[in-house]
């Protein structure tokens, strides 16, 4: 119940356009273990992902699929494991990443 409330809260804050809410989602879902805004770690930076997908039609949907199902071969040799636990937050995360 507590989780549900915080998810709803995070979603409504995001809807009002606060970037911080999704930065917190990235922390909550442990995306930051492998990603950062502009320092390459195990995964590509949020900025690299945004640049690669800039102007692509349905980029947010493609990123949601990559987040929930995993991704490989797009940025390097290391694949990203599926982040099934982040499914509910994936649309907000995808939009936030594309805005970096």
- The contact set with ligand HEC (CB under 6 A) reads 29-31, 33-35, 42-44, 49, 53, 62-63, 66-67, 71-76, 78-81, 83, 86, 93, 97
Residue among 6 and 33 whose Cβ is closer to ligand HEC:
33
Residue among 15 and 58 whose Cβ is closer to ligand HEC:
58
Token reading at 7: 């998810």
Token reading at 45: 């930076």
Q: Residue 15 CB: number of other CB atoms within 10 A?
A: 10
Least distance to ligand HEC from the beta carbon of 32, Å? 8
């Amino acid at each position: 119940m507590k989780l549900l409330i915080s998810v709803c809260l995070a979603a409504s804050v995001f809807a009002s356009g606060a970037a911080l809410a999704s930065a917190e989602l990235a922390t909550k879902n442990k995306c930051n273990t492998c990603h950062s805004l502009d320092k390459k770690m195990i995964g590509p930076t949020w900025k690299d992902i945004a640049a690669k997908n800039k102007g692509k039609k349905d980029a947010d949907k493609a990123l949601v699929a990559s987040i929930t199902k995993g991704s490989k071969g797009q940025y390097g040799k290391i694949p990203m494991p599926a982040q099934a636990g982040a499914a509910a937050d994936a649309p907000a995360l995808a939009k936030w990443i594309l805005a970096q």
